[in-house]
Structures are given as C-alpha cells and as structure tokens.
Amino acid sequence: MADGAGMAGIGAGFGSGASPARGGPTGRPPEGGDAAAAWARASAVLRDRVGAGSFRSWIAPLSLEGVENGVAVLRAPTAFLGSYALRAFGEHILAALAAAGWPAQRLEMALADRPAAPPRAAAPAAADASRTLPPRPAPEEEGTRLDPRLTFERFAVGAPNELAHAAARRLAEGRAAFNPLFLHGGVGQGKTHLLQAVAQALRAREPGARVLYLSAEQFMVRFVSALRERRMVEFKAWIRSLDMLLVDDVQFLAGKDSTQEEFFHSFNALFDQGRRIVLSADRPPAEIPHLEERVASRLQAGLVVGMGPADEALRLAVLRLKLAQAQEADPQLRIADGVLEFLAARITANLRVLEGALTRLIAQAQLVQREVTPDLAREGLADLLRAAERRVSVEEIQRRVAEHYGIRLADLVGPRRLRPLARPRQVAMYLAKTLTSRSLPDIGRRFGGRDHTTVLHGVRRIEALIAEDQTLAGDVAQLRRAIERQG
C-alpha cells in the first residue's frame, strides 16, 4: 500500500477538524519544535500512563507527522495496529501530545511503508530490553482456532435444537433484536458447533469484523497472564475493541471471583456499545452454582435457549449429514441400508459418541474395502453397544424420576391418571426410550401395562416440550446426567 493511503479518519470520534495535507510535516503548533522531538516527549508521558508492556506493543511502533487545524497525524506499520492504538489509547495520546506542547482535538492515522523506529527518548532501558514482547496479534488470532467443519451448513436441525439454531443464525446475519444469546445444554448437544458457526458466518459476511471465540478457561488464562505481566490496560482494551465475543462453557467462570469481575465489566462494556455476545454453558445462568447474581442477571438480559438431548430423528439426521460428507470425499464408501437407523436407535449417550461410532465404521469400511452392514456394525461397535446396554435400566429411570419429582414410585408406574403424575410419567417414558434399547411395548409393560401408543405419545410430548419449556428441558437434562453417572 502506498505511503499514507487507506487509514485516514480512523480516529473519527475523538473530535472534529479538517484533515491535514499528506506528504510531509503537516504543520506545527505555536510552541514550535519538530514532530520527532514532540513525539519523543509525548512517548515518555505515554510510557508512564499505559505501562511498559502496552507501550512497547502499541505506541512505540507509531510516529508523529505533525499537527494542523487541530488534527494530529500518526503513522503506523499496519492498519490493525493503528486502528487498535487509536481505539484503545487515543485519549491518552491526545493528552500526551498536549503535555508535550502539541495540542490536538482529533487523531488520524496513515500507513507507513515500514514500521517507524521508536523515538530515542522513549527507548526502553537495556535492563528491560530482554523482556520486550512482540505486539499482540489480531483478536481473531488470539482465540481458539475455528474448525472449518463447524458451520451452519453442517449442523443437523431437529426439534431439540431448532430454536437455538434459528436464534444463532439470525444473530450471525445481523437480524437479531436480542443480545446476548445464551445457549445451554448437556455434553455433545451442539453448543460449540453453533458458537463456531456464528463466528465463521459473521467473518464471512463482515471480513473486517473483530470476532473472538474462546472457552471460559482461555478467557481466564489470558486474564491471569495480563495480571502477571502488568498488561491489564492492554487486555481490557483488547476485549472492548471486539465486534463480537463468543465464550464457550461459561460455567467454568463460577467461583473465580476476580475473573468473574473482569468478565462482568467486559460484558457490560461490549453490551453498552451494542457489540454482539454469544455464550454457552451446561445449564441456564440462574442454575450455575457459585456464579455471582449480578453476572447471572446480565447473562439473562437477552435470549436464553436450551438445547435438549437429541431424539432419534435428530440422531438419524446427524448421521446422514456426516455420511454424506464422508461419501463426498470418498465416493467408493458403502454403508448398507439400516445401519444408520441401527446406530440412531442404539447409541443414545450424546451426538459426539454417535458421530464417533460412525467414524469408526467409516474407517473400517475404507481399510478393509467392505460395505458396512448392520451385522458388521454390531461387531465393530460391540464395546459401545455393551456400554449402552449396561448403562441404565428402566427401573433405575423410574426410581430417579420419582425421587426428582417427589412422588411415590408406585404412583408413577401404577394405573392412576392424576394430572400431577402425568408429566413425570411422560418424562420417565421419554428417558426410558432414549437411554435404553427397550421397545415401546416393553416400556409400556413396565409402566403398569400401558399400550405402546401411550408411551409413544408421552415420548413425543416431552420431545416437543423440551424445545419450548426451559424448566422442563433443565429437569430432563439434570435427570439424564444423574442416570448416566449412576450407570
């Protein structure tokens, strides 16, 4: 890029004034002196105000061209560094220039062909030189690397995740009236996939957007590192410069008081600027233990959506999508009819386990050059199937559900049709269908000899309610976790 092109006006918002001419010193205030000496004096002030680490990363690479008509023109080696410096430290720079005798009301940035050398008067001492750190990379380079496979196009939609998918898509397209979006659900239900899909869709739609996706643990690690390195000014400015922040597994912030404090303030700063925020956890904000009340309240300010356990239809849709992708890469791959239906019916733990099972069968088919049949699937996945069989029994599910709802086990499985018993009984039937390989007639017999159509109605009713009733979805998820741990 030619010298001085492409970055004029980056400082808009710090003030107003006519843009100075490009191509050389742009004027001097009444105090006189040359720009290099003025910038050296300002740099000495800035070093004290923003800290040595932030100064080395963001201020030292800049140089001052001059000041004219109230506009100070700086030069930066890259567009990102210049934009970030103005956003994070613009007010400090204006104050430092005024202290150096070169007052200005607004900053503008121009690109240099090569980085400007740090002013001599502001060079770090020799003892500090060994600790010099390179400038931080762009925010999108600091977070978790996105998996190119985790896009909206590769996300299977069904009743348990339909609302979450629609909300995430609308937010990524810039059409959402809510902010933040908070997704919650158990392991392997697609939360991470949706967060990464949102991030990738926004980057594709707005290439210049500053999008950061990271886990709660990574947020905590970066916060602690900033404290240790005395780079908190830089850390705060970095987070607050984002256009979208996506944080996965927010529950891991609970109990970390100082990290929660910084997350709360960062959240508020982004929210107040209208920046988009997407979060996920294993349960709704109000149910996360040891999460500060003010943090939980903030997280519920937008749209909170639960993602229920995958039903058989969704599990089958996930398998079909994954198989289609594999066959696109290897047209010779052959999976016999009935294999996917067999997997969807028998492997119910979560979608990650289900996808892993299909991956094993695909690898087996490619290695031995054979079509995968249901019999071959049973043989190749014997360990997973045995684990599924011994994981839980219908009787264990009934006992857990009765305890959870505070009703007698005999009433839950008995013939009485009282309204207070209907919903717990349907929940127990749903869990029996999704966590065991028992047939509908068999499940019905274990619930007081009920017909299989009654069981099917109960299962479908709970599947529909999970997508719209967050309280029920939370109950089912909590019961599922307890039952699976027991098994």
0.85 cut: is pTM over it? no
19 in any annotated domain: no
**The domain boundary residue, chosen from 391, 409, 436:** 391
CA distance 260 to 274: 21
Predicted confidence at residue 175, as pLDDT, reads 87
Give Cα separations from 387 to 184, 382, 401, 411, 487 (angstroms): 26, 9, 22, 30, 9
Report the CATH number at residue 375. 1.10.8.60
Sign of CA dihedral 234, 236, 237, 243: positive
CA distance 63 to 172: 38
Count of CA atoms in the C-beta half-sphere (13 A) of 335: 23
Report the CATH number at residue 444. 1.10.1750.10
CA distance 403 to 424: 10
Residues 398, 460, single domain; the answer is yes
20 in any annotated domain: no
The pair of three-digit structure tokens given for residue 293, joined into one six-digit string: 């009340």
Domain containing residue 424: 394-486
Report the CATH number at residue 248. 3.40.50.300
Sign of CA dihedral 381, 382, 388, 393: positive
**The domain boundary residue, chosen from 307, 322, 356:** 307
CA distance 290 to 298: 15
C-alpha 127: how far from its chain's center?
40
**pLDDT tens string 219-229:** 998 898 888 88
CA distance 136 to 151: 28
Residues 195, 257, single domain; the answer is yes
User: What's the number of domains the chain is made of?
Assistant: 4
9 in any annotated domain: no
* pLDDT above 70 for 19: no
CA distance 319 to 359: 10
**pLDDT tens string 395-440:** 889 999 999 999 999 889 888 778 888 999 999 999 998 887 778 8
**pLDDT tens string 72-118:** 999 887 776 777 788 778 888 999 998 888 998 899 888 765 433 34
| Bond from prior residue into 285 cis (ω within 30 degrees of 0) | no
Residues 70, 58, single domain; the answer is yes
